[in-house]
């Protein structure tokens, strides 16, 4: 491929990834709208459903989002009564994020979402597994590159 061809949209790797990610988020939208939350808010809930009572920094590491994004996001979720934000006693710099009853209960309503999305995706299981494997590899490589 010539350098010019590399500059064509369809030959990019980033562009289809960018579009697909947005389209997939859109596919979640109607399901999340029923719960009254956004996609990033859903991600925070996924993290906390797995392990509640995390510090902001722990959520930050899992979602690859810094406090400049997370703080406002968590504040909005606090307004929605999904979680509480409390300064840690041991270290006043840290903030503990804990699910409220409403936040915990929402897991039940969300249980159908992943299966629902799998249907939308319509990929053979084998292909999906391979795809996720490469995606994970790519994520790890980019994570390393990002740290530098």
Partner DNA sequence: TGTTTTTATATCGTACACGATTTAATCTTA
Partner DNA sequence: TAAGATTAAATCGTGTACGATATAAAAACA
Contacts with DNA by CB under 7 A lie at: 18, 22, 25-26, 29, 38-41, 55-57, 60, 64-74, 76, 85, 88, 90-95
Query: Least distance (Å) from its own copies to the CB of residue 46?
Result: 5
Determine the number of helices (DSSP H) and then strands (DSSP E) in the chain.
8, 3
DSSP assigned state of 57: H
| Cβ atoms of residues 104 and 51 within 8 Å | no
Task: Give which of its own copies, DNA, none residue 112 binds (C-beta under 5 to 8 Å, depending on kind).
Answer: its own copies
Q: Name the token pair of 38.
A: 């956004």
DSSP state of 10: G
- Residue 60 interacts, among DNA, its own copies, none and using kind-specific CB cut-offs from 5 to 8 Å, with DNA
Nearer to its own copies, 87 or 136 (CB): 136
């Amino acid at each position: 491929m010539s350098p010019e061809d590399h500059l064509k949209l369809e030959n990019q790797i980033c562009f289809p990834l960018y579009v697909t990610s947005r389209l997939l988020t859109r596919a979640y939208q109607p399901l999340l709208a029923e719960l009254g939350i956004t996609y990033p808010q859903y991600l925070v809930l996924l993290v906390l459903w797995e392990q509640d009572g995390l510090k902001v920094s722990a959520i930050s590491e899992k979602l690859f989002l810094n406090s400049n994004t997370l703080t406002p996001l968590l504040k909005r979720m606090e307004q929605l009564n999904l979680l509480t934000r409390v300064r840690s006693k041991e270290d006043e710099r840290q903030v503990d994020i804990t699910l409220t009853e409403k936040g915990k209960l929402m897991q039940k309503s969300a249980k159908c979402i992943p299966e629902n999305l799998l249907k939308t995706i319509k990929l053979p299981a084998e292909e999906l597994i391979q795809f996720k494997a490469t995606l994970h590899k790519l994520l790890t490589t980019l994570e390393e590159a990002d740290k530098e």
